[in-house]
Amino acid sequence: MTDLTGRRALVTGASSGLGRHFAQVLAAAGAEVTVAARRADALAETVALVAAQGGTAMPVALDVTDTASVAAACGGAAYDIVINNAGIALDGPALKMPEEDWSRVIDTDLSGVFRVAQATAARMVAEKRGGSIVNVASIVGLRVAGNLSAYAAAKAGVVQLSKALALEWARHAIRVNALCPGYIETPLNSAFFAGEAGQALIRRIPQRRLGQMADLDGPLLLLASDAGAYMTGTAIAVDGGHLVSSL
Ligand SMILES: NC(=O)c1ccc[n+]([C@@H]2O[C@H](COP(=O)([O-])OP(=O)(O)OC[C@H]3O[C@@H](n4cnc5c(N)ncnc54)[C@H](OP(=O)(O)O)[C@@H]3O)[C@@H](O)[C@H]2O)c1
């Protein structure tokens, strides 16, 4: 039921971390994957990784903060599956956060999801083909953490946006869901988690471990494929129980 043969998928933010991994997972399930981000060299590495496992991936330049770039990247092809994964996290105390940082996070993490969802859904509607949109939010969109006000607000917005779009687009057979990862180890954050602060954080996760990227494979495929055909407007947390940590 999670076979994606014949499906076309777009993964934003596929030049590193979770997005690169998601591209590999979707390709391994049979999808033809378009990988999108700003850094062409890093995207080429993702394409090579997918090809090395026998899959098909094509790169496309995309800046989710730029409407023209989104139109160019999303207008050419109709996708069955869209993984809105591109995102940034700028941390720091709210009292000291420059408005520019606030705006950058909201523009990338929330407005960027809206732009890509709108552009890709327009094609799905025009071609009457339906589809599945998976918006990568975070457990920080469901509960808060210190010094992440803009990120938390943006990700909470992604959760609510996913529900609003699910409601509007169900009539077009488009499903929209939010995937809310907890703390997942990636090449960019593994040094932090190896240190004292990172280890203290891990002790607060009920399962006492970080998530690995592979922990997201099942939930991703569930939402992206026909296995989740009756699921829309949901927010699935994948967090080792972090959201239910003891008060
Ligand atoms: N890792 C975690 O523990 C965790 C937990 C919860 C949620 N998440 C979410 O998962 C997603 C991926 O996180 P990650 O840890 O894999 O981070 P990452 O390694 O920093 O990857 C972020 C990706 O987003 C892309 N990106 C950033 N700004 C962009 C823009 N303006 N236009 C297009 N692409 C842009 C980057 O590509 P370019 O720089 O090449 O454009 C990169 O491919 C994010 O939405 C993040 O909030 C991560």
Domain ranges of the chain: 8-185+216-236
Residue pointed to by tokens 């700028």:
90
The Cβ of residue 160 has, within 10 Å, a number of other Cβ atoms equal to 15
For ligand 1, atom 25, name the residue with the nearest CA: 13
For residue 88, report the distance from its CA to the centre of ligand 1, in Å: 5
Per-residue pLDDT of the chain (247 residues; tens, 9 = 90+): 999 999 999 999 999 999 999 999 999 999 999 999 999 999 999 999 999 999 999 999 999 999 999 999 998 789 999 999 999 999 999 999 999 999 999 999 999 999 999 999 999 999 999 999 999 999 999 999 999 999 999 999 999 999 999 999 999 999 999 999 999 999 999 999 999 999 999 999 999 999 999 999 999 999 999 999 999 999 999 999 999 999 9
Sheet holding 81-84, edge to edge: 56-61, 32-37, 8-12, 81-84, 131-136, 174-181, 235-238
Q: State the pLDDT at residue 75.
A: 85
Q: State the pLDDT at residue 76.
A: 78
CB burial readout 8-43, b (16+ within 10 A) else e: bbbbbbbbbbbbbbbbbbbbbbbbbbbbbbbeeeeb
Q: What is the CATH number of domain 8-185+216-236?
A: 3.40.50.720
Q: What one-character-per-residue DSSP string does 88-141 give?
A: ----S-GGG--HHHHHHHIIIIIIHHHHHHHHHHHHHHHTT--EEEEEE--GGG
CB 79 within 8 A of CB 123: yes
Candidates 10, 15, 111: which one to mutate for ligand 1, based on the most atoms within 8 Å of Cβ? Answer: 15
Taking the CA of residue 20 as reference, the ligand 1 atom at the shortest distance is 43
Q: Please tell me the distance from the alpha carbon of residue 12 to that of residue 115, in angstroms, as a whole number.
A: 12
Taking the CA of residue 137 as reference, the ligand 1 atom at the shortest distance is 7
Q: State the pLDDT at residue 232.
A: 99
Token pair in block for residue 223? 């939402």
Q: Please tell me the distance from the alpha carbon of residue 237 to that of residue 188, in angstroms, as a whole number.
A: 21
The closest alpha carbon to 19, from 3, 2, 36, belongs to 36
CB 17 within 8 A of CB 46: no
Token pair in block for residue 204? 């607060």
Q: State the pLDDT at residue 42.
A: 98
CB 116 within 8 A of CB 74: yes
Q: State the pLDDT at residue 83.
A: 99
Beta strands, E only, 121-211: 131-136, 174-181
169 conformational bin, left if phi > 0, alpha if psi -120 to 50, beta if neither: alpha
CB 47 within 8 A of CB 40: no
Any catalytic annotation for residue 79?
no
